[in-house]
Structure 1
Amino acid sequence: MSDTDKAAVEAFRRDVVDPSRTQLVIVDFWAEWCGPCKQLTPIIEKVCADYAAKGVKLVKVNVDENKFIAAQFRVQSIPTVYAVFQGQPVADLSQARTEGQLKQYLDQLLSQLPVASEEKDQLEEIAPLIAMGEELLTGGEHERALSVFDQIAQMLPDNAEVASGQARALVGLARLDDAEAVLAALPDDIAKDHAIDRARAAIALARDARPVADLSGVEARVAANPDDHEARFELAGGLMANGERDRAAEELLEMIRRDREWNDGAARAQLLTLFEATGLEDPWVAAQRRKLSQILFA
């Protein structure tokens, strides 16, 4: 091995192998004369920069200056792009030629590998704070919950769980436009997260809610005619608006039992929205789902 090759190997060890012990290192083999390389360069540089906090590092290897390294990776054409973790190639990313394709590959790899990252460290740090915010929301302390989630958002912006907490706290304070503005400001990939669906459901329920000080009139209509679905649906809405979640669910379940197709399945749709707003992992939702299943499959 020539001195030049030895220097290249040492540089590769320093720049790629050692960092890959904890990071996902993307190795881009390229050359000045390569047209497709020039097209790919801005894409791969942008995506790797976006994913730096997730533990992704980009290393570019000029094949003309590093023939020995290129040969070790059996590079036959360029651009060739490999993902390296713990000193070993774990994926060939050469077919990813768009930002979306490259992000999809990286997301998959990061979900499977124990890559260390600033983002993971931050998530571990804020997890107890998110739990505190959720506890305050459950207890109806919406102003305090909003303060907690706002502080977390300053530490970790554009996080789905945090944005969901902010929005749901704002819903609890009847600030629905502000809640929608929080969600509207999120990047597209974050806005698709399930936690954001929960916040949207909470907003939808609040938009439809009509608090009723005295439900005795509509309760009397339902008692007089249990099949008056319009009255029962109104009663369920009033109960939800008044914070009586259990009774609201009971009325919606009774509607589904009596006529699941009424108004294009409005009762079931409203019940599912209530589930989403509460949180699909919540034990209360699990119990209500069992009741729904018993009705649907009886």
Structure 2
Amino acid sequence: AVPESQIKTFLQGLLDLSGGGDDAEALAVALAHAKSTLDEGDPLAGADLYGRILAALPDNPQAIAGLIHCFVATKDLVRAREILDHTTPEQLKHPALTAAITALTLAEEGAAGDSDTSALAERLDLNPDDHQARYDLACALYSDGEGALAIDGLLEIVSRAREWNDQAARKKLLMFFEALGPSHPLVVDGRKRLSTLFFS
């Protein structure tokens, strides 16, 4: 959780912003606090902070994207979709919103797909070359917040059968990477491993 002193700084920054000031530093601090709260595993508090930013700056695409990520993390996909549906075409061009759209799309696919991870794991035990089972398991794991295991599974498919299903595993990996963001440790590691598989 964010310390009380930091929240006070955050709120003061928002007051400066809503007072008509164009303080890019105050906005950057506010967004960083909200993001770190989400990244530390507290999406409800993150949603509160992003909501406060949006109360001061309703059109800020990074705050809109952050709020979508928070609702995806709490599996409130209906609210995430509602927020997305109210964004403007101009806002949708922002990279932060592109990543949020991908995260929401993956979550919706996971909710609609085969999420019985134990049954999928049993299929893989019987046949390690059942790429569809491994792919479905990776998607289900990602939806359950197990990004590392999901990425491992897709990299295993790339290692065993790179061209399977029109490179579906590689394409899904790239979606995971986009949703998590380029600086996420899983993305940094996953991209290195993917490059090694493709260029070794």
TM surpasses 0.5: yes
What is the CA–CA distance in structure 2 between the aligned matches of 1:283 and 1:247, rounded to whole Å? Answer: 14
Deviations 1:96-144 (A, max 9, x none): xxxxxxxxxxxxxxxxxxxxx943x1x3112222112111211221111
Aligned 8 A contact 1:236 1:251 in 2: yes
The equivalent residue for 2:84 is 183
Deviations 1:6-42 (A, max 9, x none): xxxxxxxxxxxxxxxxxxxxxxxxxxxxxxxxxxxxx
What is the CA–CA distance in structure 2 between the aligned matches of 1:295 and 1:223, rounded to whole Å? Answer: 23
2:148 to 242, 246, 250: 246
- Which letter does structure 1 place at the counterpart of 2:147? R
Compute the displacement of 1:214 (Å): 6.0
Give the TM-score taking structure 1 as reference length. 0.56
The equivalent residue for 1:143 is 44
Could you say which structure has the higher strand fraction? 1
The equivalent residue for 2:107 is 206
Compute the displacement of 1:284 (Å): 2.5
The equivalent residue for 1:265 is 167
Aligned 8 A contact 1:198 1:278 in 2: yes
- Which letter does structure 1 place at the counterpart of 2:139? G
Fraction of identical pairs, as percent: 34
What is the CA–CA distance in structure 1 between the aligned matches of 2:45 and 2:114, rounded to whole Å? Answer: 26
- Which letter does structure 1 place at the counterpart of 2:128? P
What is the CA–CA distance in structure 1 between the aligned matches of 2:138 and 2:175, rounded to whole Å? Answer: 13
Summarize the Cα distance change of 1:246–1:169 in structure 2 as closer, same or farther, 3 Å threshold.
Answer: same
Aligned 8 A contact 1:212 1:242 in 2: no
What is the CA–CA distance in structure 1 between the aligned matches of 2:59 and 2:26, rounded to whole Å? Answer: 16
Summarize the Cα distance change of 1:176–1:214 in structure 2 as closer, same or farther, 3 Å threshold.
Answer: closer
What is the CA–CA distance in structure 1 between the aligned matches of 2:129 and 2:152, rounded to whole Å? Answer: 15
Partner of 1:209, secondary structure, is helix
Q: Which runs of 5+ in 2 are unaligned?
A: 1-19
1:281 aligns with 2:183: yes
Compute the displacement of 1:236 (Å): 0.8
Aligned 8 A contact 1:222 1:232 in 2: yes
2:125 to 223, 237, 259: 223
Deviations 1:205-259 (A, max 9, x none): 1011149886333212212222111111121122112211111100000111112
1:193 aligns with 2:193: no
- Alignment coverage as a number of residue pairs: 180
Could you say which structure has the higher helix fraction? 2
Matches within 5 A, 1:56-75: none
Aligned 8 A contact 1:212 1:241 in 2: no
What is the CA–CA distance in structure 1 between the aligned matches of 2:167 and 2:116, rounded to whole Å? Answer: 27
What is the CA–CA distance in structure 1 between the aligned matches of 2:116 and 2:108, rounded to whole Å? Answer: 20
The equivalent residue for 2:15 is none
Give the TM-score taking structure 2 as reference length. 0.82
Compute the displacement of 1:281 (Å): 2.3
- CA-based RMSD of the aligned residues comes to 2.0
